[in-house]
């Protein structure tokens, strides 16, 4: 990446938790030289962002849109239509980076009333602690430079991976978007089972969390796939094998497939509902 790619201006429409997380990641990266603005109708939220990150408060959504290279759309999906229909996007040369779940590029273009450069991002809640996993898709008007901008912004909260079609963002939603809740459910079940087997609640909680963290860290640092790692810790005739066999007998893979299909289908339904 060229040094010039690290010098650009980014504005956030909406100053909620996800915007705060991204801003926090960007300002701590000393290799960047970014001009950051934010606008939100909540003066209390703006004051907190200015105090914590020493960024600029924009006069309005319109002013921010005209002044920035990247405009991050960080408002709730239900509020997006009213925000975008009050922006004159023709006066901007920015790429719009939407982190609002479920809103298609067609909807954003319709509300902006102009065919312009738009990137959709599907982040997840671990982005709040810089461990996020985000899927990205750009329309045909997005330049390579603007893709680089999006990479910098999204990578400040974890990892960002591009997909080849917008439809695949529904798959990303079912996998990483909703995925943290799947792991929380598994952790909840493991803790409850450990308590039933005699551990006190706090000991069971801490061991569950550290086991999940350790497994994820091991997987992230290994060149082997998850199947290989599982087999390495599953000794023939041992305790782990007995647990794995129970999961297999109850067709855990089919349960996950059915659950993620339901999430995928709902993601598509929400896109239709939000477009109205």
CB atoms within 10 A of CB 19: 21
Same domain flag for 153 and 223:
no
Between CA 235 and CA 232 the distance in angstroms is 7
Q: DSSP string of 91-123? A: G--PEEEE--TT--HHHHHHHHTS---EEEEE-
Q: What is the pLDDT of residue 225?
A: 96
Domain assignment present for 276? no
pLDDT at 30: 86
What CA–CA distance (Å, rounded) separates 224 from 48? 44
CB atoms within 10 A of CB 210: 10
Of 136, 169, 202, the one marking the end of a domain is 169
- Do residue 154 and residue 24 come from a single domain? yes
| Residue 2 pLDDT greater than 90, yes or no | no
Domain contains 275: no
Q: What is the pLDDT of residues 98-111, one digit of tens each?
A: 999 999 999 999 99
Closest by CA position to 209, among listed 230, 226, 233, 191: 191
82, two tokens? 């009213």
Q: What is the CATH number of the domain that holds 237?
A: 1.10.3730.10
Which one, of 92, 81, 125, lies nearest residue 11 by Cα? 92
Tens of pLDDT, residue by residue over 185-236, are: 999 999 999 999 999 999 999 999 999 999 999 999 999 999 999 999 999 9
In a domain, 37, yes or no: yes
Give me the residues paired with residue 161 across strands. Answer: 135
Task: Report whether 164 contacts 140 (CB < 8 A).
Answer: no
Q: Is residue 190 part of a domain?
A: yes
Q: pLDDT at position 104, please?
A: 96
Q: Is 32 a member of any domain?
A: yes
Classify residue 174: in a domain, yes or no.
no
Residues 95 and 38 occupy one common structural domain: yes
Query: Average per-residue pLDDT in the chain?
Result: 95
| pTM (2 d.p.) | 0.91
Longest dimension (CA), the chain: 69
pLDDT 10s digits, 110-124: 999 999 999 999 999
**pLDDT level of residue 276 (50, 70, 90 thresholds):** confident
**Same domain for 159 and 231:** no
CA distance 256 to 13: 36
pLDDT at residue number 87:
97
Distance (Å, whole) CA 264 – CA 267: 5
Query: Quick check: 4 pLDDT over 80?
Result: no
Please compute the mean of the pLDDT values over residues 79-106 and round it to a whole number.
96
Domain with 218 in it: 179-270
Q: Looking at the 3D structure of the chain, how many domains does it have?
A: 2
Do 164 and 188 share a structural domain? no
Confidence band of 7 (pLDDT split at 50, 70, 90): confident
The pLDDT tens digits of the residues spanning 243-258 come to 999 999 999 999 999 9
Residues 156 and 38 in one domain: yes
Same domain assignment for residues 119 and 193: no
DSSP tally for the chain: helices H, then strands E: 12, 8
- Answer yes or no: do 33 and 111 share one domain: yes
User: Do 86 and 211 reside in the same domain of the chain?
Assistant: no
Q: 166-175 burial, b if ≥16 CB within 10 A, otherwise e?
A: eeebbbbbbb
């Amino acid at each position: 990446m060229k040094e010039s790619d690290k010098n650009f201006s980014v504005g956030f429409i909406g100053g909620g938790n996800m915007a705060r997380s991204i801003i926090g990641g960007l300002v701590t990266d000393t290799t960047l030289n970014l001009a950051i603005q934010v606008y939100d109708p909540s003066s209390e939220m703006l004051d907190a962002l200015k105090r914590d990150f020493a960024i600029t408060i924009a006069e309005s959504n319109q002013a921010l849109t005209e002044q920035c290279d990247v405009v991050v759309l960080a408002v709730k999906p239900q509020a997006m239509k009213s925000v975008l229909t009050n922006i004159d996007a023709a006066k901007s040369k920015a790429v719009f980076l939407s982190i609002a779940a479920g809103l298609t590029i067609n909807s954003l273009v319709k509300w902006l009333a102009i065919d312009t450069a738009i990137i959709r991002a599907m982040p997840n809640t671990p982005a709040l602690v810089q461990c996020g996993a985000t899927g990205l898709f750009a329309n045909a008007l997005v330049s390579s430079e603007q893709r680089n901008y999006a990479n910098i912004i999204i990578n400040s909260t974890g990892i960002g991976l591009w997909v080849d079609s917008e439809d695949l963002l529904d798959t990303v939603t079912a996998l990483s978007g909703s995925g943290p809740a799947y792991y929380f459910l598994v952790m909840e079940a493991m803790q409850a089972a450990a308590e039933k087997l005699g551990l006190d609640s706090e000991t069971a909680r801490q061991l569950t969390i550290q086991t999940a963290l350790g497994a994820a860290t091991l997987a992230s640092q290994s060149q082997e796939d998850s199947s290989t790692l599982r087999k390495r810790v599953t000794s023939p005739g041992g305790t782990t094998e007995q647990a794995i066999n129970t999961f297999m007998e109850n067709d855990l893979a089919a349960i996950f497939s059915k659950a993620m299909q339901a999430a995928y289908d709902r993601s598509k339904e929400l896109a239709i509902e939000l477009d109205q």
